[in-house]
Amino acid sequence: MILVTGSSGFVGSAVCRELELRGSSVLRAVRRHAEPNDAAVVVGDINSKTEWTEALKRVYAVVHLAARVHQMRDTADDPLEEFRRVNVEGTRRLAEEAVRTGVKRFVFLSSIKVNGEMTDGVGPFTETDLPHPVDAYGISKWETEQILREIGRRTGMEVVILRLPLIYGPGVKANFLKLIQHIERRLPLPFGRIQNQRSLLGLRNLVDLICCCIEHPSAAGEIFLASDGDDVSTPELVRRIARALGKPVRLLPVPVWMMGLCGRVTGKSDQLRRLCGSLQIDSLKVRQVLSWTPPYSMSEELARVAAWRAECLTSGMRRTPVHR
């Protein structure tokens, strides 16, 4: 049995579907039942007091996806403390209970934010780089990694850590969805002069990698960075999304310094920094150690995103009342 936390989320639901298609028995850990489901167990909120006994019965592997995610506008009084409560202490509790019940392998989704925010002028991030998390989310992921590795060394439970860049696919949210929506509306975008390189990872590629990490003997005790292996600039990403959507796109040649000024004025410096800066990943280790390569190209994944958006828009039109 494989326990998947965060099973109703963007990544978790795709992981559960694929594992079941491959013949694995999957138990979904959920905060609360939306409907009766024999393959789900309610664990409530994840923190240092979560009760995992029922969820971990007969489980040999855990895929831990649940987390307090990065917040663009965090309203918590102490964001780092809130991230630690869920991501650090909640994961510590799960890992310790997993050891107690005899779980063999623990796959943890971390973030490339553990390495840092940008690779401008320094080359792609690798697993051997000195971690340099900047924000509260990245710090919480780094602290969690250290706890898991210590538990693994002390107990023998096989911990696998995946540090990931932006994940995209059908159901994507946040800034990637906003970019799609801007392109759908045919709005001009001020990205024409950006010269950067960014690594991304398609959802199906991530799911395939997680499945590999659950079973591959050489994954035990390792940290892996992974991407599609097809780094793109922001304007090139916009063009590829537009091509997949079948939409024209107009990229305005706005100077990057002017965008930075606008970001400071509007309070959106962080978003614009990510759009303008580079963040590249070197995936050589995962390819060599696990003999894993992304099974799907960025074009294939963006085509799936476009099909999902078309379905969303069609469904939205069907639900819209007609006023006569």
Is residue 72, in this structure, part of any structural domain at all?
yes
Helix (H, G, I), strand (E, B) or coil at 157: coil
Residues 6+ apart with CB under 8 A from 248: 186, 242
Helix (H, G, I), strand (E, B) or coil at 217: helix
Is residue 252, in this structure, part of any structural domain at all?
no
Residue whose pair of structure tokens reads 């990490």 in the numeric block: 213
pLDDT digits (tens, 9 = 90+) for 106-129: 999 999 999 999 998 889 999 999
Confidence at 321, pLDDT banded by 50, 70, 90:
very low
The domain of 291 spans 2-171+200-229+280-295
Structure tokens at 7: 């099973």
Catalytic site residues?
Answer: 137
Please report the DSSP string for 58-92 in residue order: T-SEEEE---PPP-TT---SSHHHHHIIIIIHHHH
Task: Report, as an integer, the average pLDDT of 55-78.
Answer: 83
- Residue-level pLDDT at 323: 41
pLDDT digits (tens, 9 = 90+) for 219-270: 999 999 999 999 999 999 999 999 999 999 999 999 988 888 888 888 777 8
Is residue 187, in this structure, part of any structural domain at all?
no
Is residue 130, in this structure, part of any structural domain at all?
yes
Nearest to 90 by CA among 143, 54, 19: 143
Is residue 250, in this structure, part of any structural domain at all?
no
Is residue 157, in this structure, part of any structural domain at all?
yes
Does the pLDDT at position 29 exceed 90? Answer: yes
- Residue-level pLDDT at 58: 93
- Residue-level pLDDT at 275: 86
- Residue-level pLDDT at 271: 79
Does the pLDDT at position 317 exceed 60? Answer: no
Q: How many domains does the chain have?
A: 1
Is residue 110, in this structure, part of any structural domain at all?
yes
What is the Cα–Cα distance from 139 to 115, expressed in whole angstroms? 10
pLDDT digits (tens, 9 = 90+) for 258-307: 888 888 888 777 878 888 999 999 999 999 999 999 999 999 999 999 99
Confidence at 313, pLDDT banded by 50, 70, 90:
confident
What is the Cα–Cα distance from 33 to 41, expressed in whole angstroms? 8
Strand partners for 30: 42
Is residue 195, in this structure, part of any structural domain at all?
no
Instruction: Report the CATH number that the domain containing residue 55 is assigned in CATH.
Output: 3.40.50.720
- Residue-level pLDDT at 320: 45
